[in-house]
Structure formats: C-alpha cells, structure tokens
Homo-oligomer: A and B are copies of this chain.
Amino acid sequence: DSGLSENLHLQKQFRSLGILSARTGGGPQIMSMDEAVKATNTQVVSIQMPRDTKGGAGHGSLIIVGGDDVSDVRRAIEVALAAVPTHFGDVYNSPAGHLELQYTARASEAAHFAFNAPIGKAYGLIAGAPAGIGVVMGDTALKAANVDVLSFASPAYGTSFSNEGILHISGDSGAVRQAVIAAREVGLDLLGTLAGKPKNDFPSYI
C-alpha cells in the first residue's frame, strides 16, 4: 500500500517490495542479500538492525528490497534465503558471546548500503561480542594484512547498542581475507576462554 511505503523510510519507491526479517543476525542476512541483488534486477531500499538475538549480544535484521517486477523481487528473496546458511558459517556462539566473520571478493549494494563498503571491491566484517573481543580481533586483523578501515562499530557508535565490536574493512581481496582469518583465530581463542569452545551451526565458508 502506498500509504505504508511512504512511511517506511525507503531510499526509493518501487512497485514491489521484498522483506527479509530475522530475530538473530544482521551480517549473515545482509551479505546474503548482497548476493541476491547482484543476481537479480532489484535494489536495496532499507536495512535496519534491531537490538535483538533473543537475549544475545547482537542484532536482528529488517532488509527491504524493491523492484518493478514482482517476480524479480521474489527471486531476490529466494536467492538471499538460500545464501543465509552459508553466511552463518563463520558465526560462532558460546554462552558468553559470539563471533562473526564475513568476507566477499566483490561487495555489492547491500554491503554498501549497510556498511559503506565500496562496490566491486573486497569487503570484510570482523565482529566479536562482548565488544572488547571485537576490539582485539580488529587490532589483530589490521596488524595481519594491509587493508583499509571503513569503520569500527561499538556499543555507542554504529550499532543499535549491541555489545559488539565490529571492524569493517576493504581492499585487496587476498589481504582482506587474510585479515579476517587472523581475526577469527584470535577471536576463537579469546571467546573460548570465557565459557567453552564457540560453535558454528554451519560449515565455515572463509
């Protein structure tokens, strides 16, 4: 309904809208939609990150894509949903917190919309919760490889008051990947000291 879409704070109006909404996870859904908009004739028109994860330390997500054709929009949602398990592959949980790593060799619209990733360049997301773990992971990543810092999000800056430290990086694909992998290693060590070995629910993809 046009009365609704005018009140949805969308970046642009479209005839059809597709919605991806989750209690747990922002990064996995955003990176999945990043693939979906690359593969379909759709655009990202809103990305919002509630403070959720059902009592956990992180975010949920509300992502809206638009297209002029309903079949394109439906296809985008299908592609994104199919990619979500992959992008949970480097999300590691323990009772004390979580880690999240994301990597793409070519960032597209969703990573740009949400995290200001330069389109077409490699992008990496390095997150740790509680936030102090994310700070150490970010430091490790930047010492491991020569990459550009896009931003560092923390409870009071660039998150929805989540208890996360999140480094966003860009640059040469090999360097970004190397930085992400180095951060994952130290994150698993640190979080593992608090409440047992962190576990991922899907196979690692990075």
Number of interface residues of A (CB under 8 A): 52
Q: Does A50 contact B (CB under 8 A)?
A: yes
Tell me the nearest residue of chain B to A142, going by C-beta: B1
- Given contacts A8-B135, A23-B96, A50 and B161 within 8 Å (CB-CB): yes
Residue in contact with A152 in the complex, picked from B7, B97, B131, CB distance below 8 Å:
B7
B152 touches A160 (CB 8 A): no
Q: Mark A139-170, 1 if CB is under 8 A from B, else 0.
A: 10011000001011011110111111101000
B96 touches A149 (CB 8 A): no
Tell me the nearest residue of chain B to A60, going by C-beta: B163
Q: Which residues of A contact B (CB under 8 A)?
A: 1, 3-4, 6-9, 19-23, 48-52, 54-57, 60, 62, 64, 96-97, 129-133, 135-136, 138-139, 142-143, 149, 151-152, 154-157, 159-165, 167
What are 26 A-B pairs at a CB distance below 8 A? A1-B139, A1-B143, A4-B149, A8-B154, A9-B154, A19-B132, A21-B131, A21-B133, A21-B163, A23-B129, A48-B154, A49-B155, A49-B156, A49-B161, A50-B163, A51-B162, A51-B163, A52-B130, A52-B163, A54-B57, A60-B155, A60-B163, A62-B131, A62-B163, A160-B161, A161-B161
